[in-house]
């Protein structure tokens, strides 16, 4: 085996990488590599579920994490596969594009000596009385081919055996190249969107508003190269949120309409206008779109502390856990004195009590709204400066006041009811009910590019898979007895299942033409 | 607010039941055709006729002879079908009954799908029951349409059998009363995205059957048994099966690419991102890559033939998985209500 | 020998290029996760980073107005010529509760020297805000900015990117410093003293 040397090695590796076989293997590997992402929870979509999964599977979880199986689509191995694939693709597309460009500018290849070896071959003999010279026959053939969309070149016209070489279907390779190049464009567009865009979440309760500033968001995920100056200074207010549930007996309680009535302003200096935000119908602000992603109930709560002061007042968003909007709720009153107060429990829009005395929600509409809460007192954990989710309360260090197993029982609050906490710790009142919407606000500057390139890819694909690239050669000569002999051969480049049909069509066209010409000849010379 | 028409919904279910019964008759007829063909002997092979040639030669001025390249026509004398999928004169009354009854079944089936849509005031593909019944209809429609171009009646048992299974699965596993759509599905993209997805799945169903038969035929030929043996007698040779599967897969792939695009556009409108690796998106992507692999394999030395057939089969298994397993068991944004 | 080492260096460079391609590639794919991991996401409370702006490069005079919790309207034009400390907060914000006693103390110290303190509350209703102020003895007023109008006005100058954010405006009403996250008492004190020491705008 000859020693290749470093450059030789590189060249060899490059040839391997850009070979069709490698590309195919990488493609299949990519399909396999994408699968684990559907089997394990993924961090970008659902970080909380991943954390839970690792907790539940202390043996397997950390190992899966080590191999990036919770971040499959940003993992080193997945990235390696698709980047190698794209390098291979580029290495394949560029030389083919050059080759195709040359082919576009060159003439069809010369006529093979033995046409009978081609996959489709036929001969025609034209009677001597037609006076069809071989040169004339080839011109006729060239015309027929031209009409069928071939690029045509006459060969050896001055000789006894003139021929025509023809080729069609250049678009097949062009479409192929467009498709593959567009794939690169899609990848670049995704990268651009990921780098320069952002995605953010905001929960807005009825009657409240929001302006597009980083700080206003509940969560904000900027791209690596995001420029805060790209934030469009829009603002919006949720006037009203309407929900309609299906009341047909068969599909009772399914949501059939979510409509958010909003007042929006494109910038502080613009006049406010009314907009309706619905699922599938985002509101746009110059490239930044606002999407209706979720909704829920926000009971209005007042917490009074042991000193009789209001420690907390306002709507508190609850998180729906099922289709009937049975929701979890966490209420924190860190400014209650002498002791901080916390509440954890459920909000039920329409509460019913089952035979065991357990409350459950029976309808997503608020026919009998009810709060079922446990209460706690002590240090809520907000005073040491560590940020905690507003939807969570760590009760391990707290003293429980109310609960099903406590002497005072759990807190059950119907609308407008107040509950006095034990030991004079304060009280809690269920003052009213509002709905809220959960919005996603997204700026993705790569979106348009992705659409353009996928559309290009689709068109390239359609063209390349429906066009046939074919070559045809036709040669003519004169028999000693005066008859004109014509032979033709067809060759397909790539998949072509109607080459035989094409041969028949060309043959028929020529036959018909010469028959007709001869008939006219005979009529002209009676 | 529109309401659903429950009476019409019940008629729809009745039509589905009738369609299933009709398909059963069609299935039995196609099966009888396969069984009968095992024993029938054909007349001695006539020389293959040159198409269009007889007409061309009559005027006498031009004599024309055409031949497809050497080494292609190597038909056994006893074979009933050549490599261009042309059948020798062979009476197949059972197959004719199968097709006729199948058409009738499709008409009744279509009536069931259409009444369902009218009952719900929307396109009838909003939940698993509707995907299944509409999908089954398209499988049958694609098959009957393909019959216009090729004599694929040897697939009749497989297709009618599968359609029956789909109708039963719809009725037993996913019975869903007629209902209005949840807000997430209220979009014209539902009409575009889902219909094209189901259509491409129907085409992949056909190619799946062709690829399976291709493998069976290849195995039979390799084993050296006479090509005519058994139930596969009516089935053309592996090369012609492969070529037809390729053409159909190419169409299916274009449609699947469009499905993926339309889905991405819809996802952008609904969730603010056109791609998010949701479970359903992952599998749609996997299917796309597998069929892309198939198309490349056909152009790669050593990967065409049997290997490509396996890719085609793998692709279809992914389609089934994506439809039957991902929709039902995997949590994700594509979990459908009213399952 | 020379040539060989050259080639292997080229090889190494090629490998490095490939590696960086891979790494940057995956970074491109998922900037979000990286941001979260790096803790630079603004949702995560600020890291206490301080940005001071030298007098020459300070931007325009900040202008904003809004409603205070007591119902009165206030605009910073009302106290032009004074050093102003603006603090973005809400009651359940953990870092805000840590810095609140220091802000209260600094307010007591500098109020006699004419330094104005204003809170900008982004989330609470009046009673909740009042309970916080009771807890920490906060005596300066706060704007009720649940709908973010003041934040938006400030975005034109120096965007407050975290809660808490503390801005110090000089006597001309320009942003002299921004602290993202918990304001360290001595740091804030030094900034206020600097702003006080600087000459004010020339009075006409």
- Domain edges within chain A: 25-87, 107-169+469-524, 190-295+440-458, 296-434
Please, which pLDDT band fits residue C23 given cuts at 50, 70 and 90? very low
Residue B150 lies in a domain: yes
Chain pair A-C, CB pairs under 8 angstroms: 179
**CB–CB contact B326 A255 (8 Å):** no
For the whole model, what pTM was predicted? 0.86
Nearest-angstrom CA–CA distance, B204 and B85? 20
CATH topology for A107-169+469-524?
A: Double Stranded RNA Binding Domain (3.30.160)
Question: CA A163 → CA A105, A343, A477, A486, A502, distances in Å?
Answer: 21, 93, 9, 9, 19
**Same domain assignment for residues B231 and B292:** yes
- With 70 as the cut, is the pLDDT of residue B42 above it? no
Residue C175 lies in a domain: yes
Position A315 scores a pLDDT of: 96
Please, which pLDDT band fits residue B69 given cuts at 50, 70 and 90? low
Which range, of A325-339, B152-166, C142-156, averages the lowest pLDDT? C142-156
- At A208-256, the pLDDT tens digits run 988 888 888 888 888 889 887 778 889 999 999 999 998 888 778 888 8
Between these two residues, C53 and B319, which has the higher pLDDT value? B319
Look at residue B121 and give its three-state secondary structure: coil
**Same domain assignment for residues B167 and B245:** no
- With 90 as the cut, is the pLDDT of residue C3 above it? no
Residue B54 lies in a domain: no
Residues of chain A neighbouring C21 (CB-CB closer than 8 A)? 83, 87
Query: Scanning every residue of chain C, which has its alpha carbon at the shortest distance from the alpha carbon of A42?
Result: C33
**Same domain assignment for residues B210 and B334:** yes
Share above pLDDT 90 across residues of chain C, in percent, rounded to a whole number: 44
Q: What is the value of ipTM here, to two decimals?
A: 0.89
In this complex, is the C-beta atom of A118 within 8 Å of any C-beta atom belonging to chain B?
yes
**CB–CB contact B261 A455 (8 Å):** yes
Residue C115 lies in a domain: yes
**Same domain assignment for residues C22 and C92:** no
Nearest-angstrom CA–CA distance, B85 and B155? 13
**Same domain assignment for residues B169 and B196:** no
**CB–CB contact C128 A310 (8 Å):** yes
**Same domain assignment for residues C21 and C109:** no
Position B229 scores a pLDDT of: 58
**Same domain assignment for residues C105 and C187:** yes
Position A524 scores a pLDDT of: 62
From the list B60, B277, B311, which residue is nearest A73 (CB)? B277
Nearest-angstrom CA–CA distance, C70 and B17? 71
**Same domain assignment for residues B191 and B265:** yes
Residue B326 lies in a domain: yes
- At A456-507, the pLDDT tens digits run 999 999 999 999 899 999 999 988 888 889 999 999 887 777 888 899 999 9
Which CATH number belongs to the domain containing residue C183 in this structure?
Answer: 3.40.30.10
Position C202 scores a pLDDT of: 58
Question: CA B141 → CA A491, B24, B153, distances in Å?
Answer: 35, 16, 13
**Same domain assignment for residues C20 and C93:** no
**Same domain assignment for residues C26 and C117:** no
Length of chain C in terms of residues written? 204
**Same domain assignment for residues B114 and B228:** no
Residue B167 lies in a domain: yes
**Same domain assignment for residues C104 and C189:** yes
Please, which pLDDT band fits residue B71 given cuts at 50, 70 and 90? very low
DSSP letters for B40-80 = PPPPPPPPPPPTTHHHHHTTSSEEEEEEEPTTS----TT-S
- At B15-31, the pLDDT tens digits run 999 999 999 999 999 99
Residue B145 lies in a domain: yes
In this complex, is the C-beta atom of A510 within 8 Å of any C-beta atom belonging to chain B?
yes
**CB–CB contact A195 C11 (8 Å):** no
Residues (pLDDT < 70) of chain A are: 1-4, 521-526
**Same domain assignment for residues B286 and B219:** yes
Please, which pLDDT band fits residue B193 given cuts at 50, 70 and 90? very high
Last residue of one domain, picked from the residues B181, B205, B223: B181
Between these two residues, B167 and B91, which has the higher pLDDT value? B167
Position A500 scores a pLDDT of: 85
Is there an interface between B and C (3+ Cβ pairs < 8 A)? no
- With 50 as the cut, is the pLDDT of residue C21 above it? no
From the list A44, A228, A382, which residue is nearest C30 (CB)? A44
Position A439 scores a pLDDT of: 94
Last residue of one domain, picked from the residues B181, B196, B225: B181
Position B335 scores a pLDDT of: 57
**Same domain assignment for residues B337 and B209:** yes
From the list A27, A42, A451, which residue is nearest B289 (CB)? A27
Residue B71 lies in a domain: no
Contact A327, A298 (CB under 8 A): no
Query: Scanning every residue of chain A, which has its alpha carbon at the shortest distance from the alpha carbon of C15?
Result: A10
Which CATH number belongs to the domain containing residue B146 in this structure?
Answer: 1.20.120
Please, which pLDDT band fits residue C39 given cuts at 50, 70 and 90? very low
User: Which residue range(s) make up the domain with C24?
Assistant: 2-38
Position B41 scores a pLDDT of: 61
**Same domain assignment for residues B105 and B122:** yes
Residues of chain B neighbouring A45 (CB-CB closer than 8 A)? 276-278
Other Cβ atoms within 10 Å of A5 Cβ, number = 11
Helices (H), B65-127: 93-120
DSSP state letter for C170: -
- With 50 as the cut, is the pLDDT of residue B293 above it? yes
Please, which pLDDT band fits residue C84 given cuts at 50, 70 and 90? very high
Look at residue C63 and give its three-state secondary structure: coil
- Number of domains observed in the structure of chain B: 2
Interface test with A, best of B121, B185, B272 (most A CBs within 10 A): B272
Other Cβ atoms within 10 Å of A107 Cβ, number = 12
Please, which pLDDT band fits residue B45 given cuts at 50, 70 and 90? very low
Residue B262 lies in a domain: yes
User: Which residue range(s) make up the domain with B4?
Assistant: 1-44+79-181
**Same domain assignment for residues B160 and B113:** yes
Between these two residues, C121 and B222, which has the higher pLDDT value? C121
- What integer is the mean pLDDT of C114-130? 94
């Amino acid at each position: 085996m000859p020693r290749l040397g470093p450059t030789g090695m590189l060249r060899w590796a490059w040839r391997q990488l850009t070979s069709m076989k490698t590309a195919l293997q990488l493609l299949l590997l990519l399909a396999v590599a994408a699968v684990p992402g559907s089997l394990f929870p993924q961090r970008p979509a659902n970080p909380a579920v991943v954390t839970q999964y690792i907790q539940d599977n202390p043996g397997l979880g950390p190992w899966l994490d080590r191999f990036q199986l919770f971040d499959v689509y940003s993992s080193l191995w997945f990235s390696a596969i698709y980047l190698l694939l794209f390098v291979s693709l580029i290495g394949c597309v560029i030389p083919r594009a050059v080759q195709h460009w040359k082919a576009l500018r060159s003439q069809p290849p010369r006529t093979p000596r033995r046409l009978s070896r081609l996959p489709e071959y036929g001969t025609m003999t034209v009677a001597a009385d037609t006076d069809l010279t071989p040169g004339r026959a080839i011109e006729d053939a060239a015309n027929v081919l031209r009409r069928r969309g071939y690029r045509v070149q006459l060969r050896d016209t001055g000789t006894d055996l003139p021929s025509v070489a023809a080729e069609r279907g250049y678009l097949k390779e062009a479409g192929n190249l467009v498709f593959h190049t567009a794939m690169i464009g899609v990848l670049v567009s995704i990268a651009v969107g990921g780098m320069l865009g952002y995605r953010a979440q905001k929960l807005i309760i009825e009657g409240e508003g929001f302006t597009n500033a980083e700080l206003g968001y509940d969560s904000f995920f900027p791209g690596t190269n995001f420029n805060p100056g790209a934030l469009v200074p829009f603002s919006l207010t949720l006037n009203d949120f309407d929900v309609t549930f299906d009341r047909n007996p068969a599909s009772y309680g399914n949501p059939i309409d979510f409509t958010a009535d909003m007042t929006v302003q494109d910038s502080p200096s613009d006049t406010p206008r009314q907009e309706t935000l619905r699922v599938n119908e985002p509101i746009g602000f110059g490239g930044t779109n606002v999407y209706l992603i979720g909704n829920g109930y926000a009971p209005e709560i007042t917490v009074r502390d042991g000193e009789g002061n209001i420690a907390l007042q306002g709507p508190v968003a609850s998180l729906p856990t099922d289709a009937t909007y049975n929701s979890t709720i966490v209420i924190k009153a860190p400014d209650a004195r002498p002791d901080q107060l916390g509440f954890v429990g459920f909000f039920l829009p329409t509460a019913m009590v089952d035979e065991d005395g357990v409350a459950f929600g029976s309808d997503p509409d608020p026919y009998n709204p009810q709060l079922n809460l446990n209460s706690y007192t002590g240090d809520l954990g907000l005073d040491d400066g560590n940020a905690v989710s507003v939807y969570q309360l760590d009760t391990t260090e707290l003293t429980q006041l109310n609960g099903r197993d406590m002497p005072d029982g759990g807190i059950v609050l119907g609308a407008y009811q107040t509950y006095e906490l034990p030991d004079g710790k304060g009280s809690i009142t269920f003052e009213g009910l509002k709905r809220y919407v959960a919005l996603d606000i997204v700026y993705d500057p790569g979106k348009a590019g992705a659409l353009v390139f996928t559309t290009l890819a689709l068109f390239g694909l359609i063209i390349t898979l429906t066009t046939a690239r074919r070559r045809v050669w036709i040669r003519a000569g004169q028999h000693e007895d005066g008859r004109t002999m014509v032979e033709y051969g067809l060759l397909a480049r790539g998949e072509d299942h109607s080459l035989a049909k094409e041969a028949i069509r060309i043959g028929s066209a020529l036959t018909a033409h010469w028959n007709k010409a001869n008939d006219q000849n005979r009529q002209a010379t009676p | 607010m529109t309401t659903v028409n429950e009476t019409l919904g019940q008629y729809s279910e009745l039509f589905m039941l009738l369609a299933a019964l009709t398909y059963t008759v069609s299935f039995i007829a196609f099966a009888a055709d396969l069984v009968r063909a095992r024993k029938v002997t054909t007349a001695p092979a006539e020389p293959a006729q040159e198409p269009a040639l007889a007409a061309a030669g009559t005027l006498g001025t031009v004599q024309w002879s055409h031949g497809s390249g050497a080494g292609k026509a190597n038909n056994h004398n006893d074979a009933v079908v050549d490599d261009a999928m042309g059948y020798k004169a062979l009476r197949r009354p059972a197959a004719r009954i199968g097709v006729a009854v199948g058409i009738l079944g499709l008409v009744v089936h279509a009536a069931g799908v259409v009444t369902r849509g009218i009952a719900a005031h929307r396109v009838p593909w909003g939940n698993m029951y509707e995907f299944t019944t509409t999908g089954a209809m398209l499988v049958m429609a694609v098959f009957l349409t393909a019959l216009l171009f090729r004599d694929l009646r040897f697939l009749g048992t497989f297709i009618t059998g599968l359609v029956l299974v789909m109708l039963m699965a719809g009725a037993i596993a996913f019975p869903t009363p007629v209902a209005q759509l949840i807000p997430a599905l209220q979009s014209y993209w539902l009409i575009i995205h889902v219909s094209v997805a189901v259509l491409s799945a129907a085409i992949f169903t056909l190619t799946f059957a062709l690829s399976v038969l291709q493998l069976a035929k290849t195995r039979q030929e390799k084993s050296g048994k006479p090509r005519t043996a058994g139930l596969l007698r009516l089935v053309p040779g592996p090369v012609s099966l492969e070529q037809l599967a390729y053409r159909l897969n190419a169409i299916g792939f274009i449609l699947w690419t469009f499905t993926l695009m339309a889905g991405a556009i819809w996802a952008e409108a609904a969730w603010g991102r056109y791609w998010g690796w949701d479970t359903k998106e992952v599998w749609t992507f996997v299917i796309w890559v597998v069929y892309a692999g198939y198309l490349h394999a056909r152009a790669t030395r050593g990967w065409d033939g049997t290997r490509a057939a396996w890719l085609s089969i793998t692709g279809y298994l992914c389609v089934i998985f994506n439809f039957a397993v991902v929709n039902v068991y995997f949590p994700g944004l594509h979990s459908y209500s009213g399952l | 020998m020379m040539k060989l080492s050259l080639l292997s260096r080229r090889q190494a460079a090629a490998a490095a290029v490939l590696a960086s391609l891979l790494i940057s590639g995956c970074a491109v794919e998922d900037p979000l996760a990286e941001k979260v991991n790096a803790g630079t996401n603004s949702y995560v409370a600020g890291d206490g980073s301080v940005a001071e702006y030298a007098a020459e490069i300070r931007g325009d005079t900040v202008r904003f107005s809004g409603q205070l919790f007591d119902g009165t309207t206030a605009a910073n034009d009302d106290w032009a010529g004074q050093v102003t400390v603006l603090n973005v907060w809400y009651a359940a914000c953990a870092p805000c509760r840590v810095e609140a006693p220091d802000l209260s103390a600094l307010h007591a110290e500098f109020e006699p020297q004419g330094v104005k303190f204003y809170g900008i509350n982004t989330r609470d209703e009046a009673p909740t805000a009042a309970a916080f102020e009771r807890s920490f003895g906060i005596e300066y007023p706060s704007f009720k900015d649940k709908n973010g109008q003041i934040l938006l006005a400030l975005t034109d100058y120096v965007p407050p990117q975290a809660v808490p954010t503390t801005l110090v405006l000089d006597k001309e009403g320009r942003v002299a410093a921004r602290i993202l996250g918990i304001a360290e008492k001595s740091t804030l004190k030094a900034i206020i003293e600097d702003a006080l020491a600087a000459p004010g705008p020339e009075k006409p």
